[in-house]
Amino acid sequence: MTVGHLLQQRLRDARWFQIAGQAAILLIGLFALDFGVTPTQIAAAIGAALGAQWIGALLVASRFDWKSALITGLSLSLLLRANDLWPFVLAALIAIGSKFAIRAHDRHVFNPANIGIVLMIVFTDAAWTSTSEWGSPIWLAVLIASLGAVSCWRASRLDVPLLYLAVYAALIVGRALYLGDPLAIPALRLTHGALILFAFFMISDPKTTPENPSQRALFVAAAAIIAYVLQFHFFISDGVFYAPVLLALGHWALGLAGLGGAYEWGRPPPPIRFRDPTLHGSARPAPAE
Amino acid sequence: MSRPTLKKTLIAACSAIAAVTAAGGAAAFCGFYVAKADTKLFNKASKVAIMRDGDRTVITMSNDYQGALKEFAMVVPVPVVLQEGQIHVTDNAIIDHLDAYTAPRLVEYFDEDPCLVYERQEMAAPMASSEDIIVTGSSRKKGLGVTVEAEYTVGEYDIQILSAKESGGLAEWLKQNGYKLPDGAEETLGSYVRQGTKFFVAKVNLKEQGKTGLKYLRPLQIAFESPRFMLPIRLGTLNADGKQELFVFALTRTGRIETTNYRTVKLPTGSNIPVYVKNEFGAFYKAMFAEQVNREAERAVFLEYAWDMNWCDPCAADPMSNEQLRELGVYWVDGESGAGKPSLRRPAPSGGPQDVFVTRLHVSYDAQHFPEDLMFKETGDRENFQGRYVLRHPYKGDATCEAGKEYRASLPRRYEEEAQTLATLTGWDVDDVRAQMMSGGQSFTPPPKQSWWENLWGKDDRKD
């Protein structure tokens, strides 16, 4: 009972699910997909993220929050590639540094791993994203989505990946219909492992998505539209990653960040704002409170 | 075809044996140069070289078109209307050289007398190589709905740049002009038309072709600026029966390229394989490639070579000269030759004076598995990669010393490992592989184990 209770207490924090999911995907990537990242690079990304978080926490005299930093390190290991170690370290420092340095309304503005990746690939040739490592095998897409769905749901953000993918899908299917292309083309794009990972594990970060559901929907739809426009009209293959940064910049510039209050890790999914059938008695039992 | 090059330096990487000295020379080279199975290895193979720097692009298209020249025609979607000076014809040899330089290679080592010094040498052999979008037909007369933006004769080709407002109009125009369009062409052309693409249509000018005195068609080159880094393969899948092979050679400044919409996978490399493969390296490479394609559910693009153009190790052919690179569109190198001249495994100059990075991608594609054109991106990855396979010839001499006995006792296990590796790489039956090895005199039976006392007092005083 005590162990079960403790476990329930612990698992309240959605980040446990996110860490488990990302670690599992990283292992699959390393062993089944031949990801071009070395154990040393992974260690460097995670180590630098944890180190920066620790120093940041000391400076602002807050609690050392290792889980978020670990997630940032894992995200960088999953999506960023480089020949050397330092781009991973620098990306992690930018990511965590931005959390402490760039804030509005008592929240950080940028998705940490996302801003780390974007600044590195825009301003250096030493790092790149390797979306081609993922490919579009269905099993991988389903696996990432399943792992991601659990942590998103626990963080009250399952609406984010679903809406993001729905808007993105509508755009690329619409494009295919307009061009007269076979639907195999949008299908190929939609099942791309890196896109699914981005939807379920990056843009769904509750700390950098608006707390208010309708604002959040607007934010997510805009991210999908920007990604689509960058990819298919400006031919920027990393458009998916640029979108949240552009949105956060816009959001910040307009002074909108923080509207609707800030998300706190460990909070149960709010039953009123977020109508999740699992909380209201249907198929699955309600999660432990 | 370029001269194959013999390496003089050592390769320590893939051997457990410590002391390695250089051996060989031109003579050894001649004796051991492995039969090469070059561009004819794959049917329906096309080779495309792409220089890409920012938006600047030069595409060199070479194909193995075998039919009657007057029947030849190709339709290539291009992003912009090309001026005459943006179209050029080059020599086959230059693409062949690039092909040979980047080809998967076989290297040989010879075990030395285990009782003496270990000495090895190693050789490289260029291998196999490698369009696009060919729609056969011959020209007749014009229809309507299509604008001929420009017409040029460049080398042996008559070229038209078309733009169209409607796909139906373009398909009709092509048909009226004698092009036999495969089923589905109208939809695919329509997609390109709606994306604002222009069309580059080339046919052979028989008179001009006669002047060249060549029996084949030379590669066509186009230079343009476009943010789109891609290669249109969709039209080519329409009239294909079965899969087509495409080799893409990218010349970039920053680093390796990869496909963004398909998985890019490194070809397995560095394996020790049985020495009999020397005589059938072509078959080995083909079988291995087919096996890897299947393993990736037929949806992957394979990286076969990624290297700084200043050097190679081992070299399957000399690095390209500056003139050759400029011919392929690498505008930032000097025309003067110098760097890039034949080099035998030169150490990598840091940052290299030329800054040319070459990527070789190989894809076996059809419409079902590759519905979309190949979309590329350039990465900052400058890590060298090559498809390289190793033959280790066992020592054939007596080697009666203790080390020699141990060496011989270790051979059956080594043969078994080589057989398993080859079977796994190619999907060949391991029993067949073993049979081939045995017919070459390689035994899988360990020598009878000797007791410790057998050589204690020598054999002199024993009767027999």
Measured CA distances, B259 to A126, B28, B229, B323, B342 (Å): 19, 40, 10, 28, 31
Find out whether A95 and A250 touch, Cβ atoms under 8 Å: no
Span A139-162, mean pLDDT? 90
Is A130 close to B372, i.e. CB distance below 8 A? no
Rounded Cα gap, residues B304 and B301, in angstroms: 10
Rounded Cα gap, residues B93 and B83, in angstroms: 26
Roughly what angle, to the nearest 10 degrees, separates helices B430-439 and B402-426?
A: 140
Q: How far is B168 from chain A (nearest CA, A)?
A: 12
Q: What share of chain B has pLDDT > 90, as a percent?
A: 34
**pLDDT at residue A75, rounded to an integer:** 94
Span B432-439, mean pLDDT? 92
Find out whether B135 and B182 touch, Cβ atoms under 8 Å: yes
**pLDDT at residue A208, rounded to an integer:** 82
Out of B263, B371, B380, the one facing A182 most closely (by C-beta) is: B371
Q: To the nearest whole number, what is the mean pLDDT of chain B?
A: 77
Please determine, for the modelled complex, whether the ipTM score is greater than 0.90.
no
Is B264 close to A133, i.e. CB distance below 8 A? yes
Q: How far is A26 from chain B (nearest CA, A)?
A: 17
Laid out side by side, the sheet with B272-273 consists of B105-110, B388-393, B272-273
Set of chain B residues whose Cβ sits within 8 Å of the Cβ of A131 = 260
CA atoms within 13 Å, Cβ hemisphere of A41 = 22
Nearest C-alpha neighbor of B368 from the set A188, A280, A73? A188
Buried-exposed string A221-242: b where 16+ CB fall within 10 A, e elsewhere: bbbbebbbebbeeebbbbbbbb
CA atoms within 13 Å, Cβ hemisphere of B80 = 16
Residues of B with a Cβ under 8 Å from any A Cβ are 167, 187, 190-191, 194-195, 227-229, 254-255, 258-266, 296-297, 299-301, 368, 371-372, 375, 377, 379-383
Out of A128, A132, A188, the one facing B264 most closely (by C-beta) is: A132
Set of chain B residues whose Cβ sits within 8 Å of the Cβ of A36 = 381
Q: Which of A86-100, A175-189, B405-419, B442-456 has the lowest mean pLDDT?
A: B442-456
Task: Tell me the pLDDT tens digit for each residue of A196-232.
Answer: 999 999 888 888 888 888 888 999 999 999 999 999 9
**pLDDT at residue B122, rounded to an integer:** 46
List residues bridging with B52 in a β-sheet.
B57, B252
Find out whether B228 and A235 touch, Cβ atoms under 8 Å: yes
Residue type, B90: T
**pLDDT at residue B347, rounded to an integer:** 45
More confident of the two residues B181 and A288: B181
3-state class percentages of chain B: helix first, strand second, coil last, to nearest 5: 25, 25, 50
Task: Tell me the pLDDT tens digit for each residue of B272-291.
Answer: 999 999 888 889 999 999 99
Residues of A with a Cβ under 8 Å from any B Cβ are 33-34, 36, 81-83, 124-128, 130-137, 178-182, 184-185, 188-189, 192, 234-235, 237-238
Considering the entire predicted model, what is its pTM?
Answer: 0.83
**Positive/negative CA dihedral, A9, A14, A15, A20:** positive
List residues bridging with B386 in a β-sheet.
B305
Q: What share of chain A has pLDDT > 70, as a percent?
A: 84
Find out whether B75 and B174 touch, Cβ atoms under 8 Å: yes
More confident of the two residues A141 and A250: A141
The pLDDT-based confidence of B459 (bands split at 50, 70, 90) is low
The pLDDT-based confidence of B41 (bands split at 50, 70, 90) is low
Span A61-81, mean pLDDT? 92
Out of A132, A178, A238, the one facing B263 most closely (by C-beta) is: A132
Count A/B contacts: CB-CB distance under 8 Å. 80
Find out whether A197 and A134 touch, Cβ atoms under 8 Å: yes
Tokens 């109009």, residue? B169
Rounded Cα gap, residues B35 and B421, in angstroms: 22
Measured CA distances, B120 to A206, B392, B442 (Å): 61, 9, 20
Tokens 């979607």, residue? B77
Helices (H) and strands (E) in chain B, counts: 10, 19
**pLDDT at residue A266, rounded to an integer:** 63
Residue type, B148: V
Whether residue A103 is predicted with pLDDT greater than 90 in this model: the reply is: no
Set of chain B residues whose Cβ sits within 8 Å of the Cβ of A178 = 194
Q: How far is A206 from chain B (nearest CA, A)?
A: 28
The pLDDT-based confidence of B130 (bands split at 50, 70, 90) is very low
Is B191 close to A180, i.e. CB distance below 8 A? yes
Residue type, A84: D
The pLDDT-based confidence of B39 (bands split at 50, 70, 90) is very low
Is A130 close to B229, i.e. CB distance below 8 A? no
Rounded Cα gap, residues B147 and B165, in angstroms: 9
Rounded Cα gap, residues B45 and B285, in angstroms: 15
Nearest C-alpha neighbor of B18 from the set B108, B120, B122? B120
Set of chain A residues whose Cβ sits within 8 Å of the Cβ of B229 = 235
Q: How far is B50 from chain A (nearest CA, A)?
A: 17
Whether residue B134 is predicted with pLDDT greater than 50 in this model: the reply is: no
Find out whether B309 and B354 touch, Cβ atoms under 8 Å: yes
Span B29-35, mean pLDDT? 23
Set of chain B residues whose Cβ sits within 8 Å of the Cβ of A82 = 380
Rounded Cα gap, residues B53 and A129, in angstroms: 18
Give the residue on A whose Cα is nearest the Cα of B267.
Answer: A34
Q: How far is CA B8 from the centre of its chain?
A: 24
Measured CA distances, A185 to A166, A223, B275 (Å): 16, 21, 44
Q: Which of B32-36, B42-46, B230-234, B457-461 has the lowest mean pLDDT?
A: B32-36
Peptide bond preceding B319 in cis form (omega within 30 of 0): no
Pairing status of strand B157-164 against strand B146-154 = antiparallel
Whether residue B352 is predicted with pLDDT greater than 70 in this model: the reply is: no
Task: Tell me the pLDDT tens digit for each residue of A233-289.
Answer: 999 999 999 999 998 888 777 765 444 456 666 666 554 444 444 444 444 443 433
Residue A214: partners with Cβ closer than 8 Å, 6 or more residues away: none
Q: Which of A43-52, A153-162, B35-44, B433-442 has the lowest mean pLDDT?
A: B35-44
List residues bridging with B48 in a β-sheet.
B61, B248
Neighbours of B242 (CB within 10 A): 8
More confident of the two residues A92 and B16: A92
Give the residue on B whose Cα is nearest the Cα of A34.
Answer: B265
More confident of the two residues B11 and A109: A109
More confident of the two residues B448 and B53: B53
Is A235 close to B263, i.e. CB distance below 8 A? no
Roughly what angle, to the nearest 10 degrees, separates helices B167-176 and B185-194?
A: 130
